[in-house]
Structure 1
Amino acid sequence: MKWFAVLLLAWSLGADARAETCPAGAFRNQGNAPDLLVLAPVESIPAPGLRWLFLDGRRGSTLDADSMVRCRSGAVEVRTHDGSWRRWSPIELARTDVEFTSAATPLAGRLIEPAATAEPLPLVVMVHGSERTPALDSPYAYLLAAQRIRVFVYDKRGTGRSAGQYTQNFELLAEDAANALAQARVLAAGRYDRAGYFGGSQGGWVAPLAATRAPADFVAVGFGLVVSPIDEDREQMIAEAHALGLGPEALQGIERLSKATAELLTSHFESGYEALAAVREDPSTAAWAGQVKGEHSGAMLLTPEAELRRIGRARFDNLELIWDYDAVAALRKLEAPLLWVLAEKDREAPIERTRDLLLSLASAGQPIDIHLFPDTDHGMVEFTEAPDGSRQVTRITDGYLRLLGDWIRGVSAEPYGRGVRLQEPKTRLPD
């Protein structure tokens, strides 16, 4: 039974190695190919595991069986192309935790910055998307800090260490972001040269609005939308219909469905039932009902009217979302330079109308820098697509994270992976 003892010993040593705790933070490769790496705890990965993220977008978990990042004797090692392991050096980052108040609500924040330097560096506040997860240990915050940026993160109200109730009210969230920037300016006083916001996804609605309320030197947005949440739902359904190969009759039905659900939502379920019933009763609806979903309209179509009248608002309209939010109006008020990065094949937030509106604003003279990364989905992720249309995320696209860091620092080192800068406008802005 010696072979069993040997296997047991090998298994236990391997388990101990996998269980070693890597230090969270940022690391640098000192070899011939300089690179950055961050490790951070996330709720989806059980301790002692950490998520790892490279500057070029490769990502994973230290608990993955084939992880290319491991911990040995308290140090971080990365597997090279030839299978050997190289130790990476830690980047010294300072963390300062603080509690600040916004709209009478205590919020938890953290300033993450390069340690032992008083050199003026850019200061950025990270604005949330729609997630409910804590943000104080965001791997993106550490990666920006590793690029010599002072980064302020905070737990969204109702999440993590922050008090209050979770909401998607853009007005209130913009107030929180503006107060976060004010707090960040105090913490980093004398150590920053320009200050602004970065928002991803839903943060694309919130960050520009915050910049109209508190002075900001720049705003950066990733995979956000200029159209309203109602339009987002409509465009998502149209994209789904095209992917399914549905014809003009289905598209007309989807347009009528969007108008009906928009009336329900903007009236807080006081009206719109008759229009929705007409869509349900149309014989052509059966060809696409259940397949076209959008953000909410597909589910509302399948929900019986009696149930919608009873719990419709509690189910679909319980987060104070401003359904017909006028994002164009907020952008027109914005004076700070704006970076907007689009994911070409974004299913959650289709880009067509947003791209055209941004290009029109740029053509009208606003300082907007628009970049598009091909073959990417929401989150600037690359993916593989199965025959049934389902997608499996592989990584964050190369160039996106470096573009954010460079743009915030006010430098440019193109090309950024396969990203392209957009130029020519296609439509006029609505009056």
Structure 2
Amino acid sequence: MKTILLGAALALASFQPAFGQEPCRAGTYAASTGDFVVLVESPAVPAPGLRYMFGDGRRGATSETAPPLTCDGGRVTVGGAVWGAVSFRETPATFDSVETTLKGVLIEPPGAPDAKRPLVVMVHGSERTSPIGGLYGYAMAAQGISVFVYDKRGTGGSEGEYTQNFELLATDAAHALEKARTMAAGRFGRAGFFGGSQGGWVAPLAATRTPADFVAVGFGLVNSPIDEDREQMVSEVRAAGLGKDAEALVSRLSAATSKLMLSNFTQGYDALDAVRRDMASQPWAAKIEGEYSGAIARMTNDELKRVGRARFDNVEVIWDYDAVAALRKLETPLLWVLAGEDREAPIETTRTALLGLAKDGKPFDVYLFPATDHGMFEFTTNADGSRSVTRITDGYLRLLGDWIKSDVRGAYGRAEQLTAKR
């Protein structure tokens, strides 16, 4: 699953600290009210600028014109108030999974050891970037949660080959939780997983491989990657104001390309050719993307037979993965947060499945943030229909933190709880 990364390009302006001031330093800074901001280095932000993210979801770069904070070395000022630096306890670690050594870090909040503090393992999306030193781990820790982040296999400091095989990634995540439990022994209470985007497929599966007290998921999917592709294309034609005939046509395209994916590009060409013929007269067809079907339709059969698998199926995705089966095995509490207008991971099938499982008695809490896209981003819509993300919606990070701490109370921005309160 493609993700909208926090490192997405921003329009950056030249920034120079005021005379006598030092540039901002990476770290987490908190107010007496509990508000916080995380500052990290990012390849997308030229030095000495840093990426920032507030607890309320505001995000950007310190090198912007008039950022909402000022720095003077180890001090950060927000709205005229000085926020103090938070000194986390960070312990590097390595652990083995399926004969592969993976690298991680345990981040623990400051203060005396707390045997009731929750412990969460961050499960990755499809990105290849390292979460170590990233925004989300510190944003969780700033809310009083111990956090274990690790480089998935084939990325960062971890060995192995990059993969999107959910079974293998779930095994890695299970071993990560076992390692984190050992490292934090005597200093945590409930322990579980958080997975974002593609991590929504992996985290619940990991919780069936090792004991877990909770699973939290943000903007993930319950349906399969094949269904994701189809629903993305349906979302595209709906956004373009096209009718049911267009929906039926892209659904046929998805059915044809799924045969190619499931057969390692040996079957499905006749069906694909038939869809191509019907699409040829549609002016909108050339702009259809989906997860992969649009690109497949624009390649020749000879190209697909030669390089299709290398181009589209080289990371061992389980295309027809049955996420509902994994969720049916779960008896642990689960939080699932949906982005109401998610173009990357359309929510209709996921919402229906989750609410059905909750109705059947599963201890699942489902929330939706309206007018948000993948990544729980608020956005503006451009003249051509594309979107420009602005910020993470207010309340999302707090909801994750409070739910993991079993302390959900009050409102969380515009969040709507779709399941009955427990």
Alignment check: 8 A CA contact 2:379 2:391 kept: yes
Structure 1 runs not aligned, ≥5 long:
1-11, 425-431
13-22 or 194-203: bigger deviation: 13-22
Quick one: which amino acid aligns to residue 45 of structure 1? V
Pairing 1:358–2:354 present: yes
Distance 1:23 1:196 in 2: 31
- Matched positions, count: 406
User: Which residue pairs with 1:74 in the alignment?
Assistant: 74
Q: Give, in angstroms, the shift of residue 255 of structure 1.
A: 1.5
User: Which residue pairs with 1:410 in the alignment?
Assistant: 406
Judged with a 3 Å threshold, the aligned counterparts in structure 2 of structure 1 residues 252 and 179 are, in CA distance, closer, same or farther, namely: same
Q: Secondary structure at the match of 2:25?
A: coil
Q: Give, in angstroms, the shift of residue 282 of structure 1.
A: 2.1
TM score, norm. by length of structure 1 = 0.91
Give the alignment partner of residue 321 of structure 2, picking from 301, 304, 325: 325
Q: Give, in angstroms, the shift of residue 77 of structure 1.
A: 2.1
User: Which residue pairs with 1:29 in the alignment?
Assistant: 31
Question: Any residues of structure 2 matched to 1:42-191 within 5 Å, and which?
Answer: 42-78=42-78, 80=79, 85-120=80-115, 121-191=117-187
Alignment check: 8 A CA contact 1:199 1:222 kept: yes
Q: Give, in angstroms, the shift of residue 257 of structure 1.
A: 0.6
Q: Give, in angstroms, the shift of residue 66 of structure 1.
A: 2.1
Alignment check: 8 A CA contact 2:232 2:290 kept: yes
Q: Secondary structure at the match of 2:287?
A: coil
Structure 2 runs not aligned, ≥5 long:
1-13
Q: Give, in angstroms, the shift of residue 259 of structure 1.
A: 0.7
Quick one: which amino acid aligns to residue 227 of structure 2? D
User: Which residue pairs with 2:9 in the alignment?
Assistant: none
Q: Give, in angstroms, the shift of residue 46 of structure 1.
A: 3.2
Q: Looking at both structures, which has the greater relative contact order when contacts are Cα pairs under 8 Å and sequence separation is at least 6?
A: 2
TM score, norm. by length of structure 2 = 0.93
Pairing 1:261–2:263 present: no
Quick one: which amino acid aligns to residue 91 of structure 1? V
Judged with a 3 Å threshold, the aligned counterparts in structure 2 of structure 1 residues 265 and 396 are, in CA distance, closer, same or farther, namely: same
Judged with a 3 Å threshold, the aligned counterparts in structure 2 of structure 1 residues 389 and 19 are, in CA distance, closer, same or farther, namely: farther
Which protein is bigger by CA-based radius of gyration?
1
Q: Secondary structure at the match of 2:53?
A: strand
Give the alignment partner of residue 307 of structure 2, picking from 306, 311, 317: 311
Q: Give, in angstroms, the shift of residue 362 of structure 1.
A: 0.1
Q: Secondary structure at the match of 2:190?
A: strand
Question: Any residues of structure 2 matched to 1:292-311 within 5 Å, and which?
Answer: 292-311=288-307
Alignment check: 8 A CA contact 2:121 2:194 kept: yes
Alignment check: 8 A CA contact 1:112 1:145 kept: yes
Distance 1:201 1:362 in 2: 21
Alignment check: 8 A CA contact 1:265 1:323 kept: yes
Distance 2:310 2:390 in 1: 36
Percentage identity across aligned positions? Answer: 59
Give the alignment partner of residue 240 of structure 1, picking from 218, 226, 236: 236
Distance 2:147 2:19 in 1: 32
Query: What's the CA shift string for 1:106-136, capped at 9, x where partnerless?
Result: 1110001112321120000000000110111
Quick one: which amino acid aligns to residue 46 of structure 1? P
Distance 1:184 1:34 in 2: 26
44-53 or 299-308: bigger deviation: 44-53
Alignment check: 8 A CA contact 2:15 2:63 kept: no
Query: What's the CA shift string for 1:34-64, capped at 9, x where partnerless?
Result: 5111112233223332211111101111122
Q: Specify which structure has the higher proportion of helix.
A: 1
User: Which residue pairs with 2:7 in the alignment?
Assistant: none
Quick one: which amino acid aligns to residue 201 of structure 1? S
274-283 or 141-150: bigger deviation: 274-283
Alignment check: 8 A CA contact 1:197 1:220 kept: yes
Quick one: which amino acid aligns to residue 28 of structure 2? A
User: Which residue pairs with 1:215 in the alignment?
Assistant: 211
Give the alignment partner of residue 202 of structure 1, picking from 180, 188, 198: 198
Judged with a 3 Å threshold, the aligned counterparts in structure 2 of structure 1 residues 57 and 18 are, in CA distance, closer, same or farther, namely: farther
Alignment check: 8 A CA contact 1:250 1:285 kept: no
Q: Give, in angstroms, the shift of residue 138 of structure 1.
A: 1.9
